[in-house]
Structures are given as structure tokens and as C-alpha cells.
Amino acid sequence: MRRHFALLIALLLLLPMAAPPGGADEERSRGPLTTRLYEIGALTHGIQDWIRPTAPSEFDGVSNEESPLFGIEAEEPFYPYGTADELIELIKQSVDPAMWEETDGADILTIGESRLVARCPRAHHDQIGVYLAKIERDALTPMSIDVRVVPAADAGLEEKGTALAAVSLSALPRQRAVAWEGFQHSYVCDYDVEVAKGASISDPIVLVSNAGLVARVQAHPAPEGGELRVNLNAVYTELAASDRVGVGEDREIEKPTYRTFRAYTDALVKPGVWKTVNTSTRVDGSKVAYEVRVTPHKVALRPTAPTHAFLDPKPFDDSGKMTSRMVDVGRLTARAGDTRGFAAWMVWPSNYTPPEPPEMREPEPLYPAEALPDTLMTIMGESGAWEQGFIEIRNGRLIMRNTPAVLDAAEGIIAKLRRASIRSVTVQAEVVETSAETARWLAEKGSFDPKDRTKAFGGSVATTRFESRILCPKDTRRHVATGTDFTYVGDYEVEIAEDSSISNPVIHYVFEGTQLDVHPRLSSTENAVLMQVSYVKTQRRQKERWTSTPHGRLDTPQMDTSVLNTSVFTSLGRTVVAGITGSGDTRHVLLLTPTLERATR
């Protein structure tokens, strides 16, 4: 990165030299070069895809990264317009390509994966801002995607009939997002019997099935007014019965019976209109249908650049007596890392090894300490003010020696960098319980002004079930959890030897409550935010549920489970409907309201 900044300085020093043949007048007509900082993290950090949990009929006893029992983040995010370096090439090809070739000192460089520094005429900055806003609209315009399973007789009815299961989430174009509304069902399905001379022992085998509606959805945008294409990969599973059977020697097993209804399909849908994409007759003769609805939403992006993004200092006279100064830049150069939460909300089967989660990104500073001096000199331009001066960073402090005017200018730029770069996105998260009808209306609306909350809910009753305020500094990922960890005897380890055997209880723990991971990234217009969201809500169906084994009681809990894994894009200060889960006429709506706080000096 230091090499990039040094290259830009070299380009700036060439400015007084000869202009390209015939280009001097044209270069002057474009105006003086100015320096601006651009936020690009919403485009270049990647959009996360998700792999959905596995339904009972799909699970072969092995959970891995290709078929995870409880779902997982996909290994690699997708980048709608490439990496930061690839985005720079797109900008240069789209905004006056000749200017970048003909104008000495004009260039665009990266600062990490979240920011660009561009030096070009002011009019071209305006064009870059418009271009970035345009591609953000293309890549990040949110869509509410609703999926429901209904009796076939109710298919096509907007507001009538009760869904057997329903989920809704906000997602980005082309993103694979996941929702699950159902429960985890654990049970003893068999015993492994180990035999040695004069002794034998039974080893219970515990399985876990994911019942309810598990859906992975992906929607592709359409031309203005046209149909959207939606890919649905979903399984709806009902636990029809579960019989307990004694198999001798104080052993008991459970034999569940599931009714399963799958839908793996692509369909063209009209925006905001329900469409039946799959109908099937079940074993008992009843008919059920999958229906989907995709509703695109608009996010207002500010057309003009924020004033703090321009970093050029006021004109200064670099003459005068040399003096020294020290400035604290620790907040600019300190490394900030992500945190991934999620206590164990899963009920584990026997011999279960969860797949490794994707690696977290390396902690990174806003400005690498070795690059910040070069950044300052780049912004101050080609004045030569630092030819006789001294500037370096030690222990989070910028140590400078130069004339007072130059030091004042440098300190002024540091203050601008603080205001432009040091910030935190605070996400107000809330889960409210409301009726299915109100939830459908909220999904269709997509977002609302918090001041209009009562109007958004149509005056209906909404009870808050979870509320939290999550502070995410410097584009970092943060986690919050509220609930209870409870322990249970989930298995037995058995050992056998000649004439003897022993069993050791295995204690598991599982989280009961609400967990939320949020990773916000600011848009280039700095008035909207992209948030990667992972939400899990779990609750025991009954306090105690167990099975008899020769070794004693073995707990087999059932956990009601709601999961949302997606990304949302919304204006700052606006409440977005991130997702909806529930059954019957009760729905739980996840609401997120992001706000921005900046350093004042």
C-alpha cells in the first residue's frame, strides 16, 4: 500500500512539467485537481451467500460444508463489481477515460478494501459520485421475498386462509439468503452394541431432525416493469407422529414419521404479486402449495457528495521557521477486528462435529501507520512543503517537523480524516410479535420512518419480544445475545473391556433466547447502509423430554427455532423489515434501524 501512495506522490511531482502534446489548454479547462475520499465498502467487502439447514429426508448422518445440518455461511462472498482494484478500473473506464491518461497527477488509489482516494478535477468527482451511486442501486436495491406453504384451496388468496408455514426476508439482488421457521427434534434412533469376553454394552445413537419450513431464496432483478426471476430451494417438513418403542434391556428408541413437501424451482414473478410455484398431493390426499412474492424497494441515495469527503487543505505559505509538533493519530491507525457470536443454539446429534466457519477477516486499521504520512503528503499536493521537513509515526503519534503553516495544514487534514473516517453505525434492533396480516403489510412496505411506526403497523397490536442497541465501530461485525444456556445429558460414551463395561454421561449445553449478528457498511453516498444479518431465536417446546437407556435418562429436547441469514440495505435513520418468521396467525418481525455517529474532531 505504501508503494501506491509513493506512486501518487511521484505523479503529483510531475504536474509542473510538460503537459501532453496539445493537452495543456484542455487540462486547464478541466480545472485544478482536488482530493476526495470515497466509501466503497458496501460494494467491495462482498455480499454473503448462505447454505440452508438440512431437512430430515436429506440428512445422511454426516454434516459437512456442502450439506451442513444447521446451515452455514458460504465459503466465499460474491463481489458484484469486483475487488477495490477492479472497481477503480471500472471507474476510470466509465468517467472520462481520456482525462486519467492526459492529466498529470490524476489517479485513484485504494486504502484497504473500504475506501478510495481520488485526485482529479471537481467535476469528475461529481461524475464518480453519480457512477458509484448508480452501481450501488443495481447491486444493493433490496427486495422483500415472501415464501409460504398453504393448503392448495387457499393458493392465490392474498389475505385469506392460514399458512401452514411462512417466512419473509429482505435480501439483495442475486444473493442466496436463508430462512427457517420450525423446530429441532432430537431422538434416540438406535443402539450400537459392543461385545467383549464376558461383557456387552449398548451405545445410544441420537439423531436431530430439522422440521418446519427451511428455505433458500435468490431473486434476480428485472427490467423496469418486467418480471423477476426467483430461485426457490425449500423443504417443508411436518412431524406427523413419533412412536416410542422398547427394544429390550431397558432400551427405548423413537420412530418419527415425517411428511415432506419439497420445492426446487425457478419462476418468473410479477413484482409484489403472489405466485403459486409448486402444488403437490400428500400421502393423506390433502393438497398443498408453495407460493412466493418478491417486492423490490427503493433506497434514496444522496446525489451530492458530503462536504467532509473533500480533504484538500486551505492555501498555505510554507515559509517560516521550522518547528516540531506531535499529533495523536491512534484512532486512525488502530486495528479493529470483527467478532462472530452465536452460542450453541443447536441440539447436537451423536458424533457431531460442526463444520468450520469461514475465516474472519484480518483486523485492519482505517489507515495503516506506514501509509498515513504518504497519505498526508498526497493530499497536500505538489507544493514541495515536505522536501525539507520530517514526518513519521511512532506509537500512534504523528511526529512532524516543518513550518507552522505546513504543520497547521497537516493537522487540519488529520482532523478531516477523523471526521470522514472515524465513525460507528449504531443498529437499534427489535423483534415484535404481531398478526400475520400486519406482517404481510410490513413485508410489502419494506421499511418506514420510525416516526410513522404506529401508521406502519396500521394501529394493530405489536408486542416487543426482544430489543437491543448494537454499536459497530469502523465497519466491524458485532454480536449480541439475550437468553439462557441450559445443560442436558445429550449422550453417553461407553467403554468395554473383559468382564466389565462403563458409560460416561456427555453433558451438552444449548442456548435458549435471541441472538443477532450485524455487520454494517456505509454506502458511497454516506446516507445509506448495507447490513449483513444473522438472526436466531430458540425456545424449548417443553421443559423436560427424555428417553430411557440402560445407562439412565438421556435428554432429547425439542427446540422451536427461527433463523434469518441475509443482507439488508436501507437509508440511515429508517427502520427496515429485515425478516419475518412465525406460524398460525402469529408472526415475529425483525426490525433494524441504523444511525451514524462521527468523530467531531
For 232-258, the pLDDT digits (tens) are 999 999 999 999 999 888 889 999 999
Q: In the predicted model, is pLDDT for residue 342 greater than 70?
A: no
Lowest mean pLDDT among 77-91, 196-210, 343-357, 445-459: 343-357
pLDDT at 4: 46
d(CA 585, CA 579): 16
Residue 538 CA from chain centroid, whole number? 20
pLDDT at 6: 43
Burial 470-503 (b: 16+ CB within 10 A, else e): bebebbbbbbbbebeeeebbbbbebebeeeebeb
Q: In the predicted model, is pLDDT for residue 1 greater than 70?
A: no
DSSP H or E run through 456: helix 453-456
Give the single-character DSSP code of 105: T
Task: Give the three-state DSSP class for 98.
Answer: helix
pLDDT at 18: 33
pLDDT at 382: 56
Average pLDDT on 156-167 reads: 72
pLDDT band at 3 (very low <50, low <70, confident <90, very high): very low
Percent of the chain whose pLDDT exceeds 70: 89
Average pLDDT on 341-354 reads: 80
Q: In the predicted model, is pLDDT for residue 11 greater than 60?
A: no
Query: For 282-294, how does the pLDDT look when each residue is reduced to its tens digit (9 = 90+)?
Result: 777 788 899 999 9
Q: Which has more confidence, 156 or 566?
A: 566
Q: Are 573 and 450 in contact (CB under 8 A)?
A: yes
pLDDT at 397: 93
Query: For 421-439, how does the pLDDT look when each residue is reduced to its tens digit (9 = 90+)?
Result: 888 999 999 999 999 889 9
- C-alpha distances in Å from residue 228, one per residue of 73, 102, 136, 293: 25, 43, 19, 10
Average pLDDT on 56-80 reads: 80
Instruction: Find the DSSP H helices in 198-295.
Output: none
Residues 6+ apart with CB under 8 A from 458: 438, 441
Q: In the predicted model, is pLDDT for residue 558 greater than 50?
A: yes
Average pLDDT on 146-159 reads: 77
pLDDT at 8: 39
Q: Are 365 and 334 in contact (CB under 8 A)?
A: yes
pLDDT at 159: 55
Q: Are 318 and 406 in contact (CB under 8 A)?
A: yes
Query: For 264-320, how does the pLDDT look when each residue is reduced to its tens digit (9 = 90+)?
Result: 999 999 999 999 998 888 777 788 899 999 999 988 876 566 666 788 888 888 788
d(CA 77, CA 546): 41
pLDDT band at 21 (very low <50, low <70, confident <90, very high): very low
Q: In the predicted model, is pLDDT for residue 206 greater than 80?
A: yes
Q: Which has more confidence, 156 or 309?
A: 309
